[in-house]
Chain A
Amino acid sequence: MHKGKLTMLGRIMAGLQAVITHDAAGQGLFVAYHPPAQPLSQFIVDSCQQVPLATGASVCVIDRAVNALALARTFDHQGLGLLGMLDDNEPHGLESFAATLEETRKDGTRVYSGPWQIPRADDPRHVVIVEPVEGKTFVSWGTPRGKATVAPTAWPQVDRERRERQENSFKRMMDHGALNTNYGRKKMIGADRQQQRVREQLDQALEAAQKRIAKHGQEVKTPQAKVVESASKGHGKRLEQRQRTLAVLEKAHKDAQHQHGQLAAQVAAVGPPGERADRDFCKQTIMTVRTLLLENALMSFMARLLGFLKTKVSLDCLLQLLFERSGARMETATQVVYWINTAGFSVPYHRRLAEVVGGLCAMDLRDQGKPIHVRLQTMPP
């Protein structure tokens, strides 16, 4: 069954694109949503411009980006720092760069940095190459501000940290933060972006066609005069030569006019500026801010709790061991006691929960001023 064009008014493209920012401690700082039809690099530029304003951070670290050069230029023009990974298709080994050896690490990994071998006009990117003894070469780039803020030898580490922090955070938020849930069905009417793009391309082509017509029109005038001159002077062979030249130029002029006519017809077919519906992201953004606030709170809680534990416990494990368990609560005038039901726990899980409970007791938790005690409910239900 035909369901109409994607850009048809009233039909919205499925999916959402979020740009989420974290700080070095893994705390969510910023979120912005964009329609899925919008090119990723364009809204990364928009979002990254908002991030320094909203958070005060001066350097943004992004993943391997499409249109990295355009991003780097935009950031450089605004005096912002940007670090990212170079597209795998771009580097052709060390010979592409005027790289100098910065350091050789204990494991034999060599770190080079430098600009492009052949200077590229308006390419502000500085490149760092990490060449391990075995395995793939790692190439990352940064704008001058990024280079000034973060030492080039630290770029690979910064990129690894970004991946660890953000990708793990996204996984956690999908698991227990409802990050992948859609909220709100409201639509907002906006300009038909696809039509705008087609119109822009046609307008450019039409303008070029008009220039060609004018150029060919000028070129035809001289041979026409020469043909008239040859005819009046009674030239024989020269007249033929001039008529042939004139015919070629007239054909080119006619072709240009024909092409212009075709383009004008295409512009007319595109019609007046259209509208299309996009999802309204307000509710989605509110709920994602909620998710980020929750994640930040959980991370802080974890950090505090881990300070009292001897063994490492992941947040997922804590959610299963502690958060999702049932139990009982008793409040007296002087204290609050929680019991956690341990029925069905294996001995190692029981031990781990006992350690967590010990940590909770050491955290000096209080409810309305009353100390909170957490106990294991060891009796079978």
Chain B
Amino acid sequence: MPIPQSNPGDAPGPDWCAGRKVTETHKALLWKLLSDDPTCPSRLHAIAETPEQITVTLRHINRLRKAWGLNRGKGRPHRVDGQKKGEPQGHLVRVTASLSFVGVHVCEAWWQQHGGMSAVMPLLQQAIPTYRAPHPDDDFPLLHHREQTLRRRFQALFFAPLLGIETLTAFDTHAHPLQTLLGRGYHSATLTPCLGPLERIDAAGALLPALVPQQVGHIAYVDGHMIA
């Protein structure tokens, strides 16, 4: 059975694997330019004047256009009445040609849009002075962490199971997309010393209120779970 073509999610994406002649960035630039205006002729100055000069033949560009389905018909470029040029997508800021765990990135964006760590961070930050009051002489890095550092490290722990990372040592042995997800890659050497101080400031007790939603029903289900 043929795949339905009318689905909005089916708009084709480019094959951005770097080739021998055209790098993945060049491909992305080309793709963006052609998506903006699929009728644009390959010989046009716009392609030649891309920020990074593409030094391949016209034939190569045409081959890529055909592969992406962004080739135009034969003949002189003309615009039919009512056919408008594609909406410009703006300047290209960043291209990640190979991204693992795409869904986690999309979910993370949704999560950040809906508060993200907003329930967790105040509790963690409050736990630090609460610990400091009875232990004025104690000094360890977590007590001096910026909010951003604490947030990123907790987020690394938070998303780890979705990235197939169960133990902290797996941060070193598994390829993970934390760099693209959080803007920084983490290893167990960073996160293990983060979990220890969290234990010292009793983050477990401090974080429990973050689980409770604003409105709780009058029924709570309680069950035991044994971990071998």
Chain A contact residues, CB within 8 Å of chain B: 14-25, 27-31, 36, 40, 44, 47-48, 51-52, 54-63, 149-150, 158, 161-162, 165-167, 170, 176-184, 186, 280-283, 285-287, 289-294, 296-298, 300-301, 304, 318-319, 321-341, 347, 350-351, 353-358, 360-361, 363, 365-367, 372, 374-381
Chain B contact residues, CB within 8 Å of chain A: 1, 3-4, 7-17, 28, 32, 67-68, 89-107, 109-114, 120, 154, 157-162, 164-168, 180, 195-196, 198-199, 202-204, 207-213, 216-228
A57 B220 Cβ-Cβ under 8 A: yes
Could you list 22 examples of A-B contacts with CB < 8 Å? A19-B224, A25-B213, A30-B212, A47-B222, A57-B217, A166-B221, A167-B223, A182-B227, A286-B207, A290-B158, A291-B161, A292-B211, A325-B101, A328-B16, A330-B94, A331-B92, A332-B93, A338-B102, A350-B3, A358-B7, A375-B10, A376-B11
Interface of A is mostly: mixed
Q: Which residue of B lies closest to A181 (CB)?
A: B166
In the complex, chain A residues whose CB is within 8 Å of the CB of B92 = 330-332
Distance, CA A108 to CA B85, complexed state (A): 68
B223 A327 Cβ-Cβ under 8 A: no
Which of A318, A325, A328 has its CB near the most chain B CB atoms (within 10 A)?
A328
Given A16-B226, A283-B195, A357-B7, 20 more contacts at CB 8 Å? A19-B224, A57-B219, A58-B218, A61-B219, A161-B221, A162-B223, A165-B221, A178-B167, A179-B227, A183-B168, A282-B199, A283-B199, A286-B195, A289-B207, A293-B211, A323-B103, A329-B95, A330-B28, A361-B8, A377-B15
A289 B218 Cβ-Cβ under 8 A: no
Instruction: Choose one: B98, B109, B202, B223; the contact of A19 (CB below 8 Å).
Output: B223
> What are the nearest 7 A-B pairs in CB distance?
A357-B9, A339-B13, A322-B103, A333-B90, A323-B103, A57-B220, A285-B204
Instruction: Choose one: B7, B9, B94, B218; the contact of A331 (CB below 8 Å).
Output: B94
Instruction: Choose one: B68, B103, B227; the contact of A15 (CB below 8 Å).
Output: B227
